[in-house]
Amino acid sequence: MTPSILVTGATGTVGGALMQALSDSAGQGRITLTGAARSDKSAKKLRGQGFVPVEFDFDRPETLRPALRGVTAVFLATGYSVDMLVQSKRLLDATRAEGVAHVVHLGAHAPSDTPHAHFAWHQLIERAIEGMGFGWTHLHPNFFMDTVWQAFRHRPDRLVHFVGDSHVSWIAAEDIAAVAACALMDPQRHAGQAYGLASERLSFSDLAKVLGTVTGRSVRYAPRPASDLLPILLKQGMEPTYASGLAEGVESIEAGTQTGCADIFDTVREVTGRAPISWSEFARNRLSDIKATGR
C-alpha cells in the first residue's frame, strides 16, 4: 500500500518546507501527498507549486474527515492561538475515525514542567495523541532561523529581540521539515520518538556578528526589554491569551530562568544522515533576499 500523507499548514513556514521535502517522493509515486488548504487562495498556491490541495479547515469540522480519508500519516501544525487546543482535538477525533495510523506533531522545545501556556498547550496535545493510541512522533524545535531572518532581511543593519544577552538555540525550518519527512515516510522507525530540534547555540550579539560577516555589512543587535513584547504582539493582532503566554516565556529567557533555552541536539544528523544547516549557511543561501529589498 502506498503511504498517503496529509500536511496541515501546508502553505506555512514549516508545512511549506515539508511539502518541498516530500515532493520528490510524491513525484516518483512512492507516496500520495496532499496539502491542507483552508481557502481558495491557499489551494491555488499549492497547485501553482505542483501539489494537490484538499479542502481542510480546523474551524469547519465537516471538512476534516473527507480530507483524512485514506490517509496513513498526518502532519499536525496548529496556529498561534488558544484555539490550537480545540482544533487539535477536532483533528485527532477525525483522524481516529478515519483510521489514520501515525501523527507527527509540530510542538515546541520546553521542559516538561513548563509553566508557560503556549508550551504547555503543545504538551497537552501530545499527551492526547499518545492517549488516543496513535503511532506518534513529536517535533520540538527551539528558535526558528526563518522568523528572525524575515525581519532582518528588511532591516539588514540590525537585529531586534527581547531576550537580552541570553544564549538560545536555533533550527531552520528546512531541517524541521527534513526530520518530519523521515518520520512520515517511515513511521515504524520513528514511532514513540520526541525529537529535540536545535542545532546551534548563539546569543543575538553572536548572531549579529555572523550575519555581518556573511552579508559584509555592519550589523548591530538592538535589544529591547521583554516587557515591551506583549503590547507589540497585541498590536500585531495576536490572540491575547497566546500572546500573554509567549511574552511570559520570553521574559523568563531574558531573566535567565527559562531552562533548556540553549539546548542543542544532533537530531538532524541522526535522523537524516546530513549535517544541520548553520546560521552562516542559512544566511548565505538567502543573500538575494536582502538585495531584493533594495537596502
CB 197 within 8 A of CB 142: yes
Q: Which cell numbers in the block locate residue 249? A: 516565556
Q: Parse the chain into domains and list their residue ranges.
A: 4-142+173-197+264-276
Q: For 139-178, what is each residue's pLDDT tens digit?
A: 999 999 999 999 999 999 999 999 999 999 999 999 999 9
Tell me the whole-structure pTM to 2 decimals.
Answer: 0.96
Neighbours of 138 (CB within 10 A): 23
Question: How far is the first Cα of the chain from the last one, in angstroms, to the nearest whole number?
Answer: 52
* Greatest CA separation for the chain: 56
Gap between the Cα atoms of 203 and 150, Å rounded: 18
pLDDT of 107 = 97
Contacts of 15 (CB under 8 A, 6+ apart): 7, 8, 9, 35, 36, 75, 77
- 120 pLDDT band, cuts 50/70/90, is very high
4-142+173-197+264-276, which class in CATH? alpha beta
Residue range 193-218, pLDDT digits in tens = 999 999 999 999 999 999 999 999 99
DSSP 61: G
Across residues 33-41, what is the average pLDDT?
97
